[in-house]
Amino acid sequence: MTARVLVVDDHVSNVKLLEARLNAEYFDVLTADNGPEALAICASGECDIVLLDVMMPGMNGFEVCRRLKANPDTAHIPVVMVSALDQASDRVMGLEAGADDFLAKPIDETALLARVKSLSRLRAALDELRARAARAAKMGVSASSCLVGGEDEGGRILLVDDRRSSSEAILGALRAHHEVELEPDALEALVEGAAGGYDLFIVSLTLAGYDGLRLCSQIRSIEATRQIPILAVADADDLARTLRGLEFGVNDYLLRPIERSELAARVRTQMRRKRYADCLRQNVEASLEMAVVDALTGLHNRRFFDGVLPSMMEEAKRKARPLSVMMFDIDRFKGVNDAYGHEAGDRLLQGLSRRIKGLIRRSDIFCRLSGDEFVILMPDTRIDVGAKVAERVRSGVAGAGFPIDATRLVAATVSIGLAESGRAGGDLLREADKALYRCKEGGRNRVYFDPGPKTPAQAPGFRVVRAG
């Protein structure tokens, strides 16, 4: 996966070296020799990843990183700090400034490319989520504000490590700020992880009875754990194998001996990133839901109904199973709006929807088509059974009034038409609409359906199931 990489360094030789290495891997490379120029390039949206030198005149790399992460327009851009400073305290300072990683000079080319490729994949995934959330916002779908530098404590962590010395060090470093569970068995960890609720996996790559890299790949392949970040822990002489983990989804790594403050900083980075991605994902899911949900009643809307009806009819035909449709509206609803106002009408619609939800079956699909017109899809239901459900709805609506303000109730009734696939020769919804129309012709507060020619007591035509 390619990306636009911004190399920020005041030494031309360093820039040329990094530029050559990245160009050889088909990355697009931009350069800057000072902090303000780098900030301007990032703000313009021209780069996907930043390789940032620490020691620069005027504004050092730590300050540049802090400003990037403080700006909502650039906070999502991954930053890898590059420096001759290689002490744990320097790495922690970079991570605390918001950097995604810290590479020491002279740069290991394999480590550099592995990290850039890993962050490219991460950036692409986040960009897609951000784009979808932005499209939803433009359509007027309300969404929560997602911040890259949000909450980074109080997470649930599953630690998979069978080495006592390192597991104790990790638990000691993290338990004051996170809920950490230790599971030394890899297969048990997969089961526990799939049960859900974790914010981070910390996986030792040196498990005695299992390949740690294989465990990481399995975590990535399972739907329930695919989005949970992985922090790998490995020995210092196993860097090549550790970097391989970045190729299939390990998010970060830490080499032994474990430095507690660096571990805590890397965990905070992963925690912030996951919660940012979760927030974006929730906004996207909310926008999808709102696209098929009626804002007033909380029921499925016409768009959802038009999408689901053909597939349900096809399934009913394929399996030779019945599918019935109940279509109804509120009798004399216009009179409520005229007498009490549209706000009262809205409250009636909301109260009626809530009541009917409690009267129908869990398998039934309740939709608002428009205005006071509703439809209920009843899978695996013959029309005679559907008529019993419809009568329960009719009597339940008529049984008590609906509050339209703090002191007043308004009575309401519904007229219901029924149709069944297989019996209805054409459009199922049209047949239910015809039944509803005939219901209105003969009176209101009734349930009507076509009994069909097999009913000996009546000629073919619509029949009253129950009149109020």
The CATH 3.40.50.2300 portion of the chain extends over 1-122, 141-283
| Percent of the chain whose pLDDT exceeds 70 | 91
Lowest-confidence range among 62-66, 190-194, 290-294, 444-448?
A: 290-294
Residue 139: CB atoms within 10 A of its CB come to 10
Higher pLDDT, 185 or 105: 185
What does the block give as tokens for 146? 């997602």
What mean pLDDT is reported for the chain?
88
- What is the per-residue pLDDT across 321-350, written as a single tens digit (0 to 9) for each? 999 999 999 999 999 999 999 999 999 999
Locate tokens 């998979």: which residue? 160
SS (H, E, C) 398-437: HCCCEECCCCCEECCCEEEEEEEECCECCCHHHHHHHHHH
**Average pLDDT estimate for 412-441:** 87
Helix (H, G, I), strand (E, B) or coil at 151: coil
Q: Quick one: pLDDT band at residue 66, thresholds 50, 70, 90? A: very high
- Model confidence at 113: pLDDT above 60: yes
DSSP class of 44: T
- What is the per-residue pLDDT across 152-200, written as a single tens digit (0 to 9) for each? 778 999 999 999 999 999 999 999 999 999 999 999 999 999 987 899 9
The CATH 3.30.70.270 portion of the chain extends over 302-467
Lowest-confidence range among 3-7, 141-145, 264-268?
A: 141-145
Residue 197: CB atoms within 10 A of its CB come to 10
Helix (H, G, I), strand (E, B) or coil at 300: strand
Q: Which CATH class is domain 141-283?
A: alpha beta
Lowest-confidence range among 69-78, 384-393, 421-430?
A: 421-430
DSSP class of 51: E
pLDDT of residue 426: 57
CA–CA gap between residue 171 and residue 181 (Å, rounded): 9
**Average pLDDT estimate for 416-438:** 85
Q: ∠ CA(435), CA(298), CA(281), 5° rounding?
A: 130
Q: Quick one: pLDDT band at residue 137, thresholds 50, 70, 90? A: low
- What is the per-residue pLDDT across 268-287, written as a single tens digit (0 to 9) for each? 999 988 988 888 888 777 77
Highest mean pLDDT (candidates 77-86, 142-151, 410-419): 410-419
Q: Is 408 exposed, middle or buried (0-12, 13-18, 19+ CB in 10 A)?
A: exposed
pLDDT of residue 64: 96
Which ranges in 292-367 belong to alpha helices (H)? 302-319, 333-340, 342-357
- Model confidence at 459: pLDDT above 50: no
* Among candidate residues 194, 201, 216, the one with its CA nearest the CA of residue 270: 201
In order of 27, 251, 325, 449, the CA distances from 422 in angstroms are 60, 54, 12, 14
Specify whether domain 302-467 bears CATH 3.30.70.270: yes
- Model confidence at 138: pLDDT above 90: no
Helix (H, G, I), strand (E, B) or coil at 255: strand
Highest mean pLDDT (candidates 53-62, 83-92, 277-286, 443-452): 53-62
- Model confidence at 424: pLDDT above 60: no
pLDDT of residue 140: 55
**Average pLDDT estimate for 92-118:** 88
pLDDT of residue 329: 96
- What is the per-residue pLDDT across 32-48, written as a single tens digit (0 to 9) for each? 999 999 999 999 988 99
Locate tokens 């970097």: which residue? 243
Q: Quick one: pLDDT band at residue 6, thresholds 50, 70, 90? A: very high
- What is the per-residue pLDDT across 241-253, written as a single tens digit (0 to 9) for each? 888 898 888 999 9
Q: Which fold has domain 1-122?
A: Rossmann fold (3.40.50)
